Amino acid sequence: MASYFKWPVILVVGWGLGWLSHYYWLSLRLPKNVTSSVLANEAPQRLQQTVDATLETPSFIQDSAQSGVTLVHEKLAMHQYEQVIQLLLDDNFTQQLDNMRQAIIEHLRLLLASHDYIHADRLFSLYLEVEYRDVTVLLMRAQSYTGQQQFELAIDTLYKARSYEYREPQMANLIEKIRKLVERFDKTLRNLKNNEARLTLFERLTTLEPDYSPYFVELARVQMSMGNTTQARLSLSLVEYDPQVSRQVKQLLKQIEHNAAITEAELATIPLTRRGDHFIVKAWINNHTVINLLIDTGASLTMIRSDVLQAAGVSRSANQAVRRFNTANGTIHTAVVLLDSLSMGEQSVNDLEVGRLNSDNFHVADGLLGMNFLKHFKFFIDQGEHVLRLTPP
């Protein structure tokens, strides 16, 4: 009887040893992150799928079983910033994102402390393409620009940070930073007697913050110093009734030798309706369809809801392709149509491109009034009087 079972037992034991030997040698050839639990799988197809998936993993991730934070530190030390951003976008490290971001911020602080602006600017650009709302990093980039004496870029970056900040204490601190930097830059330009640069500065500032009347007063002063009293008068007319600067405006008006009266056609005062922190203005599409637009100076393009455009009979296409534009809430992609005109009061802009706004996602108004309309005027948003003042450029 023993001999009867002898040979089957030998065959079974031999088959088992051969199977274990095969997988032992295979395990020595696999990457480290293929674990013993995978080798224990009895289905060869499952094992092959695991091997294939491992081979498709980027080499800088598969070579290490370390945490995302550790990998980020390694890549930052080697200035491999593109790979740092890939790690930030990797779904495997979702739970570690906050710590990974903090590692990047600490690295940026070290770069700024050592005045390594070349590497800092490269990392800023890559990181902010992904995390464009990160106020902390935007403030650091403004600091970097300031350290390089690139004041215009620093100011623009601070205003970008302001558009994303919502906490009151941080907002107040951010505004104070802007005021101090503008004062510092303006003082530098005055010492250099560079009125052209000062003119550019305050024209830009009145666009970035059209509800801050002191910028209009400084713009008028620069225009007066350059002999352009007509433009100075127009700038002052926008803020003439703002109590914050009304006394200064009256004094400057007395200094203007050529005090030509501004006609009603030159100065338009458009009523505004306040809705939360925003203002709504009434406009006309092609002189016949009345709409309400939310003023968004952070939007490069005026945008109108698709259903409103359809009701107005707008069908002219500026470009069939979808295009990319900036808004105060970030970058969007939209199709563009062409209006015969968009009007407010007596002021009108002809052949204006507007984007189609998704009707399902925007219910505050009929659309956004962007800078491609407002850039045709000098304008001031009078928050006290709730009016929009427009003059020709």
pLDDT of amino acid 66: 63
AA identity, residue 59: S
Residue 379 clears pLDDT 50, i.e. is over it: yes
Which parts of 158-221 are beta strand (E)?
none
Give pLDDT tens digits for 30-66.
Answer: 444 444 444 444 444 544 454 444 444 455 454 444 6
Residues with Cβ within 8 Å of residue 22, at least 6 apart in sequence: none
Q: Please check whether residue 337 is in contact with residue 356, taking contact to mean a CB–CB distance below 8 angstroms.
A: yes
Residue 134 clears pLDDT 90, i.e. is over it: yes
What's the DSSP call for residue 347? E
- Average pLDDT (209-236) is 94
Token digits of residue 105: 């911020």
| Domain 68-180: assigned CATH number | 1.25.40.10
Which parts of the chain are beta strand (E)?
268-275, 278-285, 289-295, 302-305, 317-327, 330-344, 347-357, 367-369, 378-382, 387-391
Q: Domain 268-391: which topology?
A: Cathepsin D, subunit A; domain 1 (2.40.70)
Give pLDDT tens digits for 104-124.
Answer: 999 999 999 999 999 999 999
CA distances from 310 to 234, 284, 304, 356, 357 (A): 38, 14, 10, 10, 12
pTM strictly above 0.85: no
- Least confident among 157-161, 171-175, 285-289: 285-289
Residue 95 clears pLDDT 70, i.e. is over it: yes
pLDDT band at 276 (very low <50, low <70, confident <90, very high): confident
The half-sphere exposure of 54 on its side-chain side, counting CA atoms within 13 A, is: 18
Other C-beta atoms closer than 10 Å to the C-beta of 160 total 21
pLDDT band at 345 (very low <50, low <70, confident <90, very high): confident
- Average pLDDT (343-366) is 83
Secondary structure of 28-87 in HEC code, one letter for each residue: HHCCCCCCHHHHCCCCHHHHHHHHHHHHHCCHHHHCCCCCHHHHHHHHHHCCCHHHHHHH
Q: Average model confidence (pLDDT) for the chain?
A: 82
Give pLDDT tens digits for 225-274.
Answer: 998 988 999 999 999 999 999 999 999 998 886 555 555 456 788 899 98
pLDDT of amino acid 219: 97
| Tokens 């919502």, located at residue | 166
- Average pLDDT (308-335) is 70
Residues with Cβ within 8 Å of residue 198, at least 6 apart in sequence: 186, 189, 190, 222
Closest of 88, 126, 132 to residue 108, by C-alpha: 126
Q: Please check whether residue 179 is in contact with residue 160, taking contact to mean a CB–CB distance below 8 angstroms.
A: no
Above pLDDT 90, what percent of the chain? 49
pLDDT of amino acid 300: 84
pLDDT band at 128 (very low <50, low <70, confident <90, very high): very high
- Average pLDDT (346-356) is 87
- Average pLDDT (269-288) is 88
- Average pLDDT (341-360) is 85
pLDDT of amino acid 26: 47
Residue 281 clears pLDDT 80, i.e. is over it: yes
pLDDT band at 18 (very low <50, low <70, confident <90, very high): low
What's the DSSP call for residue 383? T
- Average pLDDT (342-353) is 88
- Average pLDDT (366-378) is 89
pLDDT band at 98 (very low <50, low <70, confident <90, very high): very high
**Domain residues of the chain, as ranges?**
68-180, 194-255, 268-391
Tell me whether residue 89 is exposed, middle or buried, using C-beta atoms within 10 angstroms of its C-beta: 0 to 12, 13 to 18, 19 or more: exposed
